[in-house]
């Protein structure tokens, strides 16, 4: 059964579009745009989305509200990373919990927003922004960033879209059946830029330094501190930074 694809040349935010049109949309429907005037990241941060330089999409999805949600952004990251790898891009890594990196610089972001809960059904929107070529943005992003044209200058954006959506539907279905299963955990360890490296975990109250030991079956990050303690953190609450 076909999914609806809404294409908006200009919009405030494709995530906001889905949130505003839930009643007309079905699970798996997509909203695409060329340019967002108020693209957003986590915690009210801004996602810069100039004209035609990105793949910007949001997907309406539903999940069982009784199951843990924490691993979702990781599964989406793995789907996008594998989609790009399937098009020939090898140097893609993930940064827990929601970033895609190219040679250590931010290539894409994922923003999951919960719309509402109807009994056991959680309605949510999955937003993805992937940089393809951003010649005019050079100085405006306040952290190291990357564009896919660095490694795949010939890649067609429609082809990337198809690969990303195919991988997403497959990986989301597996996540719904099995959560963060052993295959996902292994894939994560292979793709995580900071796996087995020292990282800082920034919480509201403090910064914790330790070695990143990968993720558990809920998608929590496992950090081994200097005194040998193994701590777990949830991606909704903390940020990871290199020390
Ligand atoms: P966290 O690890 O907590 O998620 P983050 O720095 O990745 O932190 P996000 O909210 O995930 O923050 O992403 C928003 C940030 O992404 C912005 O503050 C900006 O630094 C960066 N950013 C904004 N637009 C782009 C873009 N087009 N490409 C790459 N990075 C961008
Ligand atoms: C992040 O790194 O914090 C997440 C950035 C997510 C950006 C995408 S672009 C499509 C969708 N619409 C938005 O307003 N944000 C997401």
* pLDDT, greater one: 235 or 138: 235
Q: Could you tell me which of 113, 121, 39 has the C-alpha nearest to residue 76?
A: 113
Q: CB neighbours of 179 closer than 8 A, spacing ≥ 6?
A: 67, 68, 71, 217, 218
Q: What is the pLDDT of residue 78?
A: 98
Given a contact cutoff of 8 angstroms between Cβ atoms, the answer to whether 18 and 27 are in contact is no
pLDDT in tens, 107-157: 999 999 999 999 999 999 999 999 999 877 766 788 999 999 999 999 999
| C-beta atoms surrounding 44 within 10 Å | 6
Q: Could you tell me which of 70, 54, 78, 44 has the C-alpha nearest to residue 170?
A: 78
Model pTM?
0.96
Task: Show the ligand 2 pocket: residues with CB < 6 angstroms.
Answer: 13-15, 36, 39-42, 45, 47, 56, 58, 98-99, 109-111, 127-129
- Residues annotated catalytic, as ranges: 42, 106, 241
Nearest CA to ligand 1 atom 5: 42
Q: Could you tell me which of 234, 187, 188, 228 has the C-alpha nearest to residue 211?
A: 228
């Amino acid at each position: 059964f076909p999914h609806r694809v809404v294409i908006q040349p200009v919009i405030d935010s494709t995530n906001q579009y889905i949130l505003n049109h839930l009643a007309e949309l079905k699970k798996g429907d997509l909203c695409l745009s060329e340019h967002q005037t108020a693209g957003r990241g986590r915690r009210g941060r801004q996602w810069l989305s100039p004209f035609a330089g990105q793949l910007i999409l949001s997907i309406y999805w539903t999940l069982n509200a009784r199951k843990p949600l924490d691993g979702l952004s990781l599964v989406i990251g793995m789907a996008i990373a594998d989609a790009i790898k399937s098009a020939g891009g090898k140097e893609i890594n993930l940064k827990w919990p929601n970033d895609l990196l190219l040679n250590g610089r931010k290539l894409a972001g994922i923003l999951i927003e919960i719309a509402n809960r109807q009994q056991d059904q959680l309605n949510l929107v999955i937003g993805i922004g992937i940089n393809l070529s951003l010649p005019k943005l050079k100085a405006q992003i306040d952290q190291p960033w990357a564009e896919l044209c660095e490694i795949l200058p010939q890649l067609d954006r429609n082809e990337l879209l198809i690969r990303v959506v195919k991988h997403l539907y497959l990986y989301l279905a597996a996540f719904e059946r099995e959560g963060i299963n052993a295959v996902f955990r292994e894939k994560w360890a292979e793709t995580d830029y900071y796996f087995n490296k020292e990282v800082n975990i920034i919480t509201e109250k403090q910064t914790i330094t330790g070695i990143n030991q990968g993720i558990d079956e809920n998608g929590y990050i496992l950090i081994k501190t200097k005194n040998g303690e193994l701590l777990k953190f949830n991606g909704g609450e903390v940020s990871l930074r290199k020390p």
